[in-house]
Amino acid sequence: MAVQRVFPLSCVVQQYAWGKMGSNSEVARLLASSDPLAQISEDKPYAELWMGTHPRGDAKILDNSILQKTLGQWIAENQDCLGSKVKDTFNGKLPFLFKVLSVETALSIQAHPNKELAEKLHLQAPQHYPDANHKPEMAIALTPFQGLCGFRPVEEIVTFLTKVPEFQFLIGDNAATQLKQSLSRDSQAVASALRSCFSHLMKSEKKVVVEQLNLLVKRISQQDCVECMACSDNTVRAGLTPKFIDVPTLCEMLSYIPSPSQDRLFPPAWSQEDPYLSIYDPPVPDFTVMKMEVPGSVTEYRVLALDSASILLMVQGTVTASTCTAQATISLKRGGVLFIGANESVSLKLTLPKDLLMFRACCLL
């Protein structure tokens, strides 16, 4: 009997403090839609839905005919399902973690090393860097969303330093002067100046930050200064209260914000030689997320085979899925997650005449 290589998954939800609360969270809504037994707690945050084999969130297999209980266990015994290139390159492990995020407040500032530096840090301090792999990321907006990614052109940062005295105060005169002078120098001088500005801002004492934020909120509530700062819209939406604006918000004056026309961003990796990037430069990742939209007038849609294992998330619509290896059809509706082994195609039959919206994560080497 052929090994079943397509099956539904039950995935792990992470309840980080920054997530949206209860049914206000898209993560919670996807969970409730896919699992009628799920109980959503309105007083708890639902921040991330993890679809993969991470040790802290290994997806459960929803098929009683499969002996292994989790996706990680199944892949360990069926490594060919990854695809030949993926299997050899990543030592028989699924090399990506597919997520849905539902964000209420600013996340912590993150910086991921590139492959070369990740290997070096892993050797030097495995307790702090347990993974020798880099972590390239791609984020796709399901709803209107704003993210900070890399650094703005230095000229823009200098403009904010000039127009926003509270920002200048937290950066410090010396660091601000260094950045202004770097405009006429080489890239190493720019990187050093950015490092100094960012370090001063992030290391500012909480008391001082609160004082400057109060001054900032008071000033922009008393005058029309929309043009003076990058984060004016956020501040107005927050009701001009410092409770909702903090150091990450001030980082908008340092960081690059993709234009509203972009629906995705690629956080840049950092190296030991150049950990501070002055301009956002999206890489070309090996890891891909495909967006699939199917009109409700189509009765059947085929998900094509790839030389990579993939994970499919149903965001909108209701279908039954069938394959050559599956013993029975699989019902999928909003929030449903499907694992698809390498070189497997899947036929989706629409059970309701409503448009489908799906996302498929894979690794194309």
Per-residue model confidence as pLDDT tens digits over 114-142: 788 888 888 999 888 887 877 777 788 88
Q: How far apart are CA 262 and CA 339, in angstroms?
A: 28
Average pLDDT (170-187) is 92
Catalytic positions, written as ranges: 237
Residue 265 phi/psi, 5-degree rounding, is: -145, 160
pLDDT tens for 260-278 read 455 666 666 655 544 444 3
What is the CA angle 186-187-189, rounded to 5? 70
Bridge partners for 21 per DSSP:
45
- Asked if residue 294 lies in contact with residue 331, where contact means CB atoms within 8 angstroms, the answer is no
Maximum mean pLDDT: which of 36-45, 154-163, 320-329: 36-45
Say which range, 74-78, 131-135, 292-296, has the weakest mean pLDDT: 131-135
What is the distance, to the nearest Å, from the Cα of residue 258 to the centroid of all Cα atoms in its chain? 14
Average pLDDT (186-197) is 87
Of the two residues 128 and 102, the one the predictor is more confident about is 102
Residue 177 phi/psi, 5-degree rounding, is: -65, -40
Question: Annotated binding residue at 112?
Answer: yes
For residue 281, pLDDT beyond 50? no
pLDDT band at residue 216 under the 50/70/90 scheme: confident
Question: Annotated binding residue at 110?
Answer: yes
What tokens were used for 275? 């950990």
For residue 299, pLDDT beyond 90? yes
Say which range, 21-30, 89-98, 220-229, has the weakest mean pLDDT: 220-229
For residue 92, pLDDT beyond 70? yes
Of the two residues 111 and 129, the one the predictor is more confident about is 129
Please give the mean pLDDT across all residues of the chain: 83
- At 276 the pLDDT is 45
Of the two residues 239 and 312, the one the predictor is more confident about is 312
For residue 240, pLDDT beyond 70? no
For residue 230, pLDDT beyond 70? no
Q: Where in the chain is the domain with CATH 2.60.120.10?
A: 6-124, 269-362
pLDDT band at residue 109 under the 50/70/90 scheme: low
Q: Three-state SS string across 71-102, please? A: HHHHHHHCHHHHCHHHHHHCCCCCCCCEEEEC
Average pLDDT (315-330) is 90
The CATH homologous superfamily for domain 269-362 is: Jelly Rolls (2.60.120.10)
Q: Where in the chain is the domain with CATH 1.10.441.10?
A: 154-258
pLDDT band at residue 213 under the 50/70/90 scheme: confident
Strands of the 330-332 sheet, one edge to the other: 300-303, 346-350, 319-322, 330-332
- At 221 the pLDDT is 75
Of the two residues 246 and 355, the one the predictor is more confident about is 355
Average pLDDT (350-360) is 95
Average pLDDT (325-348) is 93
The type of residue at 78 is N
- Asked if residue 147 lies in contact with residue 139, where contact means CB atoms within 8 angstroms, the answer is yes
Long-range contacts, 204-212 (Cβ 8 Å, 24+): 204/170, 204/247, 208/170, 209/170, 209/246, 209/247, 210/242, 212/166, 212/169, 212/170
pLDDT band at residue 202 under the 50/70/90 scheme: confident
The CATH homologous superfamily for domain 154-258 is: Phosphomannose Isomerase, domain 2 (1.10.441.10)
Query: Strands 12-14, 48-51: parallel, antiparallel or unpaired by DSSP?
Result: antiparallel
- At 341 the pLDDT is 97
- At 146 the pLDDT is 72
Average pLDDT (188-204) is 88
Fold that domain 6-124 belongs to in CATH: Jelly Rolls (2.60.120)
Question: Annotated binding residue at 137?
Answer: yes
